[in-house]
């Protein structure tokens, strides 16, 4: 037991001495290890390899061929030989198919960028969540310690007859409430660390300090400039645009299906037939065939119409992605502005006044001009205002991260 405790203390000491995590460091860890990126990269690689294969000629067919095979004497042995058959697609079919898959490959590259965008956004959101959770723990533990002291003071005052029983019960209830709030805050902090480890791709991420302060909100440009940046750099729009190109390329593939294919067939056969029983066999004979498929019955009209409909759907989807992105951006930016304004109001107006009111009430209590319950009320007002301030900070951080990473309005 003693050795385990010593090991725990040593690990805690080493973690405390380790440098704090930076957001950039955690993002790089996630980009190097997150499985979502490995999945997207593997899918993109599969499409690229399929594009390479699409340009290859179909394999030839080889086989045995026999004619005029009859039983009986060798005079009637028939013809025996080998043949090879090769289909050569015409009309640029192979090139068109390869181009269509290459277009899909370009879209898959954008999908990798989208996955990278989501991983980075997840790390930043989890990072901000830990900062908020740490601040909540600090506030909750500070209140818990202050109320523990208040309980001791109230009990002393009650014992000497300077405080009533209801006042003592009120203080004890507030203390129990503060202890519960501190436990809840610590559990939330642990959950936030777990979420950060999952976002980084390392569930066993050691606990350390985080660089940065929750009060330092990310600085955003004005609405118009921020939207131009988000629209220009958003990989979701790039992916939607490239999917349109891939859908257009599939039309050419469907049209090329009816293009004729050249059929080449050739071989050599040994003719064992003889004119007489003592004559020599006719021997080897060559054979060649050239043919071409004719799109007589199947012109693939339905396939072409289907590809055209898919192309139009891809265009409409790209427009929908753009409109939805702008809608979510506008809503999130408005919410961020509201949250940032709330942060400034709490920081510059509400908290200073609540703190001053608490101090003045405490001074009045010390000179017996106010009851301790009034002190508790003033302290509760200050604590509630501080909690609301931290909530506003957390909300502003989440919205700022969404705006910076181009995922505004997404869950």
Question: Is 21 a domain residue?
Answer: no
Tallying the residues shown for the chain, one arrives at: 411
Residues in a beta bridge with 63: 83
Count Cβ atoms below 10 Å from residue 299 Cβ, excluding itself: 12
Q: What is the DSSP string of 285-311?
A: EEEEEEEE---SS---HHHHHHHHHHH
The reply to whether 235 and 282 lie within a common domain is no
Q: Are residues 367 and 392 in the same domain?
A: yes
pLDDT one digit per residue (tens) for the chain, 411 residues: 455 555 545 545 545 567 889 888 998 999 888 888 889 899 889 988 888 888 888 899 999 988 777 665 555 567 888 999 999 888 888 888 888 888 888 888 888 888 888 898 889 889 988 999 998 898 888 888 888 877 887 788 778 776 678 777 877 888 898 899 899 999 999 999 999 999 998 888 898 888 888 888 877 888 888 888 888 778 888 888 989 999 998 998 888 888 888 999 998 888 777 666 666 777 788 888 899 888 888 888 898 899 999 999 999 999 999 999 889 899 989 999 999 999 999 999 999 999 999 889 888 877 777 777 788 788 888 888 998 999 999 899 888 888 887 765 555
- Tell me the CATH number at 35: 1.20.1600.10
Cβ neighbourhood burial of 101 (10 Å; 0-12, 13-18, 19+): buried
Domain count of the fold of the chain = 2
Could you tell me if residue 79 is inside a domain?
Answer: yes
Q: What angle do CA 289, 291, 296 make, to 5 degrees?
A: 155
Q: What angle do CA 148, 185, 385 make, to 5 degrees?
A: 75
**Cα gap 280→258, rounded to integer Å:** 49
Q: Mark whether 70 and 101 lie in a shared domain.
A: no
- State both tokens at 296: 């007589």
Structure tokens belonging to residue 73:
């004497």
| Domain co-membership, 231 together with 206 | yes
388 to 147, 198, 341: CA distances (angstroms): 20, 28, 13
What is the pTM for the complete model shown? Answer: 0.74
Q: Are residues 325 and 235 in the same domain?
A: yes
In angstroms, the CA 279 to CA 350 distance is 120
Q: Quote the CA–CA distance of 285 and 82 in Å, as a whole number.
A: 11
DSSP state of 76: G
Give yes or no: residues 66 and 206 share one domain. Answer: no
Q: Is residue 5 part of a domain?
A: no
- In the three-class reduction of DSSP (H, G, I as helix; E, B as strand; rest coil), residue 174 is classed as helix
Q: Residue 47 sits in which domain range? A: 26-56+92-259+302-405
2 found inside a domain:
no
Say how far apart CA 381 and CA 351 lie, in whole Å: 9
216 and 310 belong to one structural domain: yes
Task: Supply 346's token pair.
Answer: 């709490």
Nearest residue to 133 via CA among 215, 214, 218: 214
Same domain? 356 vs 372: yes
Asked, for residue 250, whether it belongs to a domain, the answer is yes
């Amino acid at each position: 037991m003693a050795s385990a405790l010593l090991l725990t203390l040593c690990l805690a000491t080493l973690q405390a001495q380790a440098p704090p995590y930076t957001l950039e460091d955690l993002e790089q860890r996630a980009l190097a290890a997150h499985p979502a990126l490995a999945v997207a990269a593997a899918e993109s690689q599969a499409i690229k390899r399929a594009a390479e294969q699409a340009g290859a000629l179909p394999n030839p067919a080889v086989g045995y061929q026999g004619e005029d095979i009859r039983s009986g004497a060798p005079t009637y042995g028939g013809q025996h030989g080998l043949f090879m058959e090769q289909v050569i697609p015409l009309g640029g079919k192979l090139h068109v198919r390869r181009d269509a898959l290459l277009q899909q490959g370009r879209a898959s590259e954008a999908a990798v960028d989208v996955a990278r965008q989501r991983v980075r956004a997840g790390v930043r959101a989890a990072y901000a969540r830990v900062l908020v959770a740490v601040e909540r723990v600090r506030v909750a533990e500070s209140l818990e310690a202050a109320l523990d002291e208040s309980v001791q003071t109230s009990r002393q005052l009650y014992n000497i007859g300077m405080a009533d029983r209801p006042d003592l019960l009120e203080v004890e209830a507030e203390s129990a409430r503060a202890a519960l709030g501190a436990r809840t805050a610590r559990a939330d902090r642990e959950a936030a660390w777990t979420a950060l480890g999952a976002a980084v791709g390392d569930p066993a991420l050691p606990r350390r300090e985080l660089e940065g302060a929750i009060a330092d909100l990310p600085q955003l440009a004005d609405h118009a400039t921020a939207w131009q940046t988000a629209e220009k750099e958003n990989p979701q729009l790039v992916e939607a645009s490239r999917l349109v190109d891939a859908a257009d390329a599939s039309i050419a593939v469907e049209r090329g299906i009816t293009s004729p294919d050249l059929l080449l067939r050739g071989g050599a056969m040994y003719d064992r037939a003889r004119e007489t029983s003592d004559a020599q066999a006719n021997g080897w004979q060559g054979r060649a065939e050239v043919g071409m498929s004719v799109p007589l019955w199947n012109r693939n009209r339905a396939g072409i119409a289907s590809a055209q409909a898919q192309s139009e759907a891809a265009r409409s989807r790209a427009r929908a992605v753009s409109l939805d992105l702008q809608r979510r951006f506008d809503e999130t930016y408005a919410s961020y502005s509201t949250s940032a304004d709330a942060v400034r109001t709490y920081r510059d107006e509400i908290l200073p006044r609540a703190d001053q009111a608490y101090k003045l009430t405490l001074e009045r209590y010390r000179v017996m001009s106010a009851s301790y319950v009034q002190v508790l009320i003033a302290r509760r007002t200050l604590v509630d205002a501080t909690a609301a301030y931290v909530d506003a900070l957390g909300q502003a951080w989440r919205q700022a991260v969404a705006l910076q990473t181009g995922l505004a309005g997404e869950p």
